[in-house]
Each structure stands twice: as structure tokens, then as C-alpha cells.
Structure 1
Amino acid sequence: MGGKLYRGQAGLPFSSSLRIYEPLEAFPPEQQRQLVADGDRIGSRAAVENAELQASLGRITRSGGDPFPTGRTDLVRMTRVPGGRHAAPGPGQEEAAPDAGRLLYCPSQLVIRAGLAANALMDGVHGPLADLLIPVSQRDKHQQRIDRINAGDDAKRVHTRASTWGIPFSWFSLFAESDRKEVVESDGHIQTVRVWTPLTEALERARFAVAHLALAAPDLDMLDDLTQLTEWLELFHVQSMVELDYGAVADKVYPDESPMDVRLGIECLAEGDMTGAAAAYRRLASRWIPIRQLARAS
């Protein structure tokens, strides 16, 4: 399944995601039941990725010109927080089995995310071209879907942020070299790399970066990005996990030291070490600018 998924992505833009996985109790009761049902229905992570890709390709070729997801069959990703062991056994008792940990859930929320993406696209496109890309009638129809979701009891928090043709440097500030990683490979290629960190750790790192950049480089665009990221993280349950999913771009950049370079760059700026900050930026640029240039390649 995994190999088919990434062979099917050939020729598509590199897409990376930043996701929040929350415990079940963070969701309203009705959504809790739906998340469990969707998780049981789809199953493995590879199956979720494949289903989402196939659905997106299907929308492109759908008759009637509606490119938006309907939300009738939303998807959910799950991850398990590693557990420790139960309490030590008493006299005459067997040693307890390792704790399997607890499941956390990240709903795809495709309807809301598609609406946000369309709005962002329309902000930069006007006139006849905008209507050609996404007709007004289709945008209005999709807004009705969004309104129905917002009128219900579903969580309003958007759990996923996506980026094409590269990963924003601000995302790397949430992670460290020691964080848990999964490298997914097939046929000699890296399909993706996923990195996880607890929400509390990500928030602490984000606030550290914001505080130091506000003093050392208040005009840096990354400061605005980090401020928005911090406000976003604060919306979620304290026992959540944050996942950086590189996507297919991982095959071009991994092993990747970007989290370390971002951290060192911020620390150097805070210490007034412009030479060190410039060196960290050069390492980042040499790694990611060629990826971003692919967006303009024919």
C-alpha cells in the first residue's frame, strides 16, 4: 500500500504537514464516536494516506466542476503515545506487561481546510481567472458545507497545517534532534519522515523562540510565523502530540538537521553572534531553497 501511494505522487507538488493529535476526551461526545468509527474503518496509517490521495485525485476529475471535499467520509489519523510499565509487581506476582500507551486522534477536517486553502488562493487571484479556477457557485456551495460544520458540535480547531514545496523554518523550531522519529522507506526511497513531540515541549520551544526573536530580530518574518504558531498550539489539549510529516520531500533532504540549525540560529541572534546566525541560515538555505525553486520549474 505505501509504495503504491508514493508512486502515485510522482509529478505532484511536495506537500508537508504539521498536525496536532489530541486525546479522545478533547472532542465533543458525538465526534468521539465518529473518530473511533473512522479509525476502525480505515485502519493503518498507510491506508489513510492512500485514501486521502485517491480522494483528492478523484475530486480533480469529478463531473460538475466541484473541486471541494463533501465531508461525507472524513478521515482520521491516529498515533499512540508510548507508555511505560505498570506499577512494580508485589511479592508472588508476575511482572506487569509494558503499557501500550494511549491513542491520540487527528481528524483530517478536509471541508474546513479546503475552504481555507481556497480563500488563500483567491486572495492572490482576481477577476475572470479566479472564476475560472474555482467558480463562484462552487465556492458558495462549499461555504454552505462549512457553515453546517460550524453550526454543529464539532471541534472548531483546525488540526492540520500544510505547506507545499518546502517546510516553513518556523515549524522546525517546535522540534529537537532527540524527538521520536519514524522513517518510512520503500523501493530504496524515503517516502516520508515523521517527527513527534509533546505539545508542552513544542509550546515551550515556540515561546523560547518568540521571546528571543522579539528582542534580537523584531522585524524578522519568522517572528510573525512563530507568534501565530504559538497561538495555534495553545488551542489544543495539554496532552496532545505535535507531528511534523515531511512527505515525499524527505527523500531530497533527509537526514535533515534543520531543527538544530533553526535553534542555533535563534540562539546566536539572542547572543548577538551574527556570524553564527548567518552560518545557520546558510545551511538552511542550501538545503531548502533548491526545493522551493522546484515550484517554478517547468
Structure 2
Amino acid sequence: MTGNLYRGQAGLPFSSTLRVYEPLDAFPEDQQAAIKSAGERAVSRAAVENAELLASLGRITRPGGDPFPTGRTDLVRVTRAPGVPVEDAGKEGSGKESPREESADGVGLLYCPSQLVLRAGLAANALIEGIHGPLAELLIPEEQRDRHQERIDMVNARDGITRVHTRASTWGIPFSWFSLFLESDPQDVVEASGRILTVRVWAPISDALDRVRYAVANLALAAPDLDMLDDLTQLTEWLELFHADSMVELDYGAVADKVYPDDSPMDVRLGIECLAEGDMTGAAAAYRRLASRWIPIRQLARAS
């Protein structure tokens, strides 16, 4: 069943995501009922992923050419808070420690709304900033951008200041994301028909923040001009917006089949430690391991 649900990803660009799941009481009171209800409607994690994928493909072929989500429905992913015991039942993958277990009474559950309207607007702005002129108008006509801005304004007016719970990356995972995790963190390997469909890794947000702050402090002293320092600083500021009892999830997506088992979290940590100790040889070796693993993936973005 899982294989059928994920089959639609074949042939699409590799897409990976970093998500933050918060307890229900971290959301505004007037949103809590809708978020809880949407989470309860999610039959399984695979079903949520499939529904989101089919919706995105549907928008591309929508009559009128408007590629933006309307916001009429918003999917919600659900996971369990770390340390909350639950019986092992009905997992979609082969991982032994997955915290993704649902509870009939909702106790200990954490929620991550998709927020597609806001995220689509941010993605469109980033795209337009990178290209100008006729090509920008061809890809996303100004009329469509203006129409979607009205949707964003409606969401902001309804929800107030909104934390965006999801970050996405295509054709590879930013090295900064790996600083949030250790190889010992709980993970779930989702497989079907001899192929790894995705790997998901989790960490309590308190642990993730400790790790990224450690990385920032060491790089600020040892390599202040490194581009990764800016990425880590932005990552820290983003995580600091969320509830202290939240959890962070790295979802590899289909790229997992190319890189798993993956030592990237260890290589990033060792590279930073080596820089802090002045061991340039060790830092260079860690980077070479990362580069040999991820540069071929990123090159696929330009392959014909």
C-alpha cells in the first residue's frame, strides 16, 4: 500500500523537508480545533504525503494556469512527543523507534500544518527575485501573483503572526540541517519494492537548538567567513520561534534511496569540531566525504 501511495514521486525532482511539530496549545485558540480535526482526518502519514503530492500536480494542470494553492484545505501532519510511551502498531516503515504514533485521546501529539498558501508565496517571491523580465512573467504572471497575495493577506489577517513550520529543499539537503541531528536520533526508514521511499529523523527542539548553537559558536570563532555560518544563524533564529516542547523532523524524501545509510550528521559535526580545534586536515576530509555524497545529487538538477 505504501508503495502505491508514493509511486507518484517517480520522475519528480528530489525534495527534502525540515519540519517543526508543535503541541496543540502552541497554536492560537481559534485555530486549535481545525488543526486537531485535520490531524484526525489523516489516515496515515503516507496518505498525507500522497494527497499533498496529487494536489500539487493538480495545481500545475489547473485550467487558467494559476499554480497557487487556494487555502480552502490545509493538510496537517501528526507525530508524538518524545518520551511518551505508546504501543508499537501500524508503522508504515521499518524503523524501530519512530515517534509517529497517534493517540485516540490526543495526549502527547504534535502537529505540523502544511501552510501551503504562505509557503507558496515565499517560494514564488524567491523565484522572482532570481529572475526578472519576460521570463518571470511567463513563469508566474503578475495577475496570478497579485491574486495569491490576496490569499496571503487573508491568512495573515485571520491568523496573525504565523510561524512557517516547514522548510523545503530540492536536489539535496543543506549541510546546515544536519547540524540539528545525531546518528543516534530516532529514525524511520520507509521502504517498498526494494526501494527506500524516504528516511525521517527526529530530535526534540531543545536538543536541535543546543546542537545548532554549538555549531554557530564554533564557526563564528574558527571560520566566520564560511557561508554555512549564515545558514546556521538563520536556522537558529527560525527554531527559536517555536514552542519549547516541539520536535524537529528531517524528511529526506526520495533522495534517501541514493544516500542512505547517511553519515552526513556525523561528518558535519566532525567538520565543525575539527575547525574549532584548528585541524584543517580533518575538516577538509569531512567536507570531502560530504561533497562526494551530495554534489552528484545536486548536479542532477542540471542534467538533461
- TM-score (ref. length: structure 2): 0.92
Deviations 1:67-93 (A, max 9, x none): 00001011000101244569xxxxxxx
SS of the residue 1:218 aligns to: coil
| Structure 2 match to 1:241 | 247
* Residue 208 of structure 2: aligned partner: 202
- Specify which of 281, 284, 288 is matched with residue 275 of structure 1: 281
Percent of counterpart pairs with the same letter? Answer: 79
1:152 pairs with one of 149, 154, 158: 158
Structure 2 segments unaligned to the other structure (5+ residues):
87-102
Partner of 1:20: 20
Q: Which residue of 2 aligns with 1:78?
A: 78
**Correspondence 1:59-78 to 2 at 5 A:** 59-78=59-78
Q: How does 1:258-273 map to 2 (within 5 A)?
A: 258-273=264-279
How many residues are paired up?
286
Matched, 1:254 2:270: no
Q: What is the RMSD of the two structures over their aligned residues, measured on CA atoms?
A: 1.5
- In structure 2, the residue matched to 1:221 is 227
In 2: Cα distance, 1:172 partner to 1:17 partner: 12
Q: Do the aligned partners of residues 228 and 62 (structure 1) sit closer, same or farther apart at CA in structure 2, a change above 3 Å counting?
A: same
Match of 1:297 among 274, 289, 303: 303
Counterpart amino acid of 1:237?
Answer: H
Structure 1 residues without counterparts, runs of 5 or longer: 87-99
Q: Could you give the per-residue CA deviations for residues 235-280 of structure 1, whole angstroms, max 9, x where no partner exists?
A: 0000000000000000000000000000000000000000000000
Q: Give the direction of change, closer, same or farther, for the CA distance of 1:216–1:34 in structure 2 (3 Å limit).
A: same
> Paired residue for 2:290?
284
> Quick check: 1:27–1:155 contact (8 Å CA) kept in 2?
no
> Is the radius of gyration larger for structure 1 or structure 2?
1
Q: Given residue 183 of structure 1, which amino acid in structure 2 is its aligned partner? A: V
Please tell me the residue identity of whatever aligns with 1:234: E
Question: Structure 1's 260 and 231: CA in aligned 2 closer, same or farther, altered over 3 A?
Answer: same
Q: Once the 2 structures are TM-superposed, how far is the Cα of residue 6 of structure 1 from its aligned partner?
A: 2.7
Match for 2:173 among 142, 167, 174?
167
> Counterpart of 2:177 in structure 1: which amino acid?
W
Native 8 Å contact 1:70 1:145 kept in 2: yes
Greater mean alpha carbon deviation, residues 31-40 or residues 219-228: 31-40
Q: Which moved more, 1:194-203 or 1:1-10?
A: 1-10
SS at match of 1:46: helix
CA distance in 1, matches of 2:298, 2:109: 35
